[in-house]
Structure 1
Amino acid sequence: MSDWLISIEGTEAGERVALILALVAAFLHAVFGALQKGRHDPWLSRGAIDFALVLISAPVALFLVPWPEGHIWLLLAGAMVIHFIYKFGQALAYARGAFTVVYPVVRGTGPLFTVIGAWVIFGESFGGVQWLGVLVLLGGIFGLAVYNLVHVQSERETLVPALWLAVGTGAMVAVYTTYDAYGIRATANPFTFLMWFFFLTSLDFPVLAALRLRSMAYPPPLKPLFLRGLAGALVAWGSFGSVMLATRLGKVGEAAVLRETSPVFAALIGWLVLRETVGPRRIALMVMIAAGAVLVELGG
């Protein structure tokens, strides 16, 4: 598998596979968000997911893929710091604001910063049609956030700080997307970086979650929490793994923008699975997001 991926780097086939991987990442990220939605404390949810990631990633990292080359250890150490800041900020935002408001702001801010970072670091550039697509997509995402903000009634008093945290977390999305793209491109075997990334960057939140559990007067049952964490870990493998492979095969900025079609999939999941109401305004905003993604791809 790794040999095949390496062989199509820089080819038209590689660009097509990168497109598919970015859309797969978008769908799985929406599933990931649905798994986190509302059921458990966000600190415990993330801790359970990371605990399961350690369990499933460690054997693969230690025994099935080549070990990282010397300088890759430094890149992995940097990823541990960056992803801890991202996860910490995300948990703070989710704890203070409604998921349906915070999530679109995080996902909308991330690709804009990523496109700029990809231009600075990798020399990538977008044409006029692609920039139009970015603006249309971001308009749809932030439109969803405003729509939900107007209609949400819970946690109104903490929503403003939650939105600021969401913007900061979106900036961290851009940082880790660009940084991870650099890391996976610098590693000879892409799956080496992926498996060690999942293993090492997941060591932190299980500790925080355990401390939080100890301080709770009425901790939740552990079995449902662990099962949700295991499901989230498997989805994270597919979501984060797909987008990182996409950034190795194709342009970082395009992969980041296409991944942020996830609010469309999230709304579809909410409608089809969670039986949530999707009115004409939300449908129009989802069409904007999808149209923006199409423009980005066609403009390339």
Structure 2
Amino acid sequence: MSNWLISLEGTEAGHQLALALAVMAAALHAVFGALQKGRHDPWISRGAIDGAYGLMAAPFALFVVPWPAPHLWPIFAGAWVIHTGYKLLQAQAYTKGAYTVVYPVVRGTGPLFTVIGAWLIFGEIFTPVQWLGVAVLLSGIFGLALYNLAFLTTARDTLVPALALAFGTGLFVALYTTYDAYGIRAAADPFTFLAWFFMIDGIAMPLLALRHLRGMDRRPAPGPLILRGISGGLVAFFSFGAILLATRLDKVGEAAVLRETSTVFAALIGWLVLKETVGPRRIALMGLIALGAVIVEMGG
């Protein structure tokens, strides 16, 4: 399968597959965010999820895929540092603010700086029409955040720090998207990078979650938490794995922008699952997000 994927790089078939992978990653990333923000403490949820996907990835990393070449070890170390910083900020943001407030800011900040990073590192250039699409998409995302800011009735005392944390998290999204694209392109076998990435990335948060768990007065029941960890780990494989493969097959900036349609899926999840209010104005703003993504794709 690795040889087949590599053969698609830079082709029209590879472009179409990257498009499908980016959209799939968007839907699954919204599910992933909801799993972390659900009824459990965000620190505990993330620790369970990371621990699950780290353990599930270990057999593949150690016994199935080819071992990493020596030049990949520093790349893995950098990825671990960046992703740990991202997850620390994200957990704090979810602790301070509502899911539908935090998530749009995180996902809106990420693609803008990813497109800039892809231009600086990979020499990718967006057409004027694509930049129009980015502007439309970002207007929808940040419009959603401003709407939430104006009409939020709960947790307003922590809203400013939540938004600041969300913005910082978005910068880390851009950083890890660009860096991971560099990493998976540096690996001879993309699945080697994926397997080792997930195994190494699953180390930090379980330890931090365990420390957080010890300080809690009421600890969550282990059964539902383990189930959330396993389900979240499986979602992570297909979500993060899909976007990483998309950035190897095609342009990093386009994949990053298309992934941010996850905000539309996130709003639907917030409404249907987390019982957060979604009105016609939010629906219109979500329509702008989807329209912007379409313009970016068609403008290329």
Alignment TM class, shorter chain as reference: over 0.9
One-letter amino acid of the counterpart of residue 113, structure 1: F
TM-score, structure 2 normalization: 0.97
- Distance in 1 between residues matched to 2:280 and 2:221, nearest whole Å: 39
- Residues 167-221 of structure 1, C-alpha deviations (whole Å, 9 max, x = no match): 1110000000000000000000000000100010110010011111112122111
Asked if 1:249 corresponds to 2:243, the answer is no
Report what 2:118 is aligned to. 118
Number of residue pairs the alignment of both structures matches: 300
Poorly superposed stretches of 4+, deviation over 6 Å: none
Residue 270 of structure 1 deviates from its aligned partner by 4.1
CA distance in 1, matches of 2:224, 2:294: 39
* CA–CA separation in structure 2 for the residues paired with 1:279 and 1:166: 23
C-alpha distance after superposition, 1:216-243 (max 9, x if no partner): 1221111111111111111011110000
- Give the letter aligned to residue 201 of structure 2: T
Shift of 1:276: 5.4
Alpha carbons of 1:116 and 1:44: their partners in 2 closer, same or farther (altered >3 Å)?
Answer: same
Q: Which aligned pairs between 1:1-300 and structure 2 lie closer than 5 A?
A: 1-271=1-271, 277-300=277-300
Q: C-alpha deviations, 1:97-123, integer Å up to 9, x for none?
A: 111111100000000000000000000
Distance (Å, rounded) in 1 between the aligned partners of 2:106 and 2:229:
21
Q: Report Cα offsets for 1:239-292 as digits up to 9, x if no partner.
A: 100000000000000000000000112233345555655321111111100110
Give, in whole Å, the separation in 1 of the partners of 2:65 and 2:154: 46
User: Could you tell me the TM-score, scaled by structure 1's length?
Assistant: 0.97
The 2-side partners of 1:129 and 1:5 are apart by 29
Q: Which AA in structure 2 matches 1:162?
A: A
C-alpha contact (below 8 Å) 2:32/2:232 kept by paired residues: yes
Say if 1:119 and 1:125, in contact at 8 Å, map to a contact too: yes
**Residue 64 of structure 1, CA deviation:** 0.8
Instruction: Give me the whole-angstrom Cα distance separating, in 1, the residues matched to 2:270 and 2:184.
Output: 33
Seq. identity, %: 70
Structure-2 separation of matches of 1:211 and 1:275: 30
Alignment RMSD (CA, Å): 1.2
CA contact (8 A) 1:98 1:152 kept: no
**Alpha-carbon displacement from aligned partner over 1:34-74 (angstroms, at most 9, x marks no partner):** 22233111110110101101111111111111110000011
Asked whether the 8 Å contact 2:100–2:270 carries over to 1, the reply is: no
Preserved contact between residue 114 and residue 174 of structure 2 (Cα < 8 Å): yes
Stretch moving more, 259-268 or 187-196: 259-268
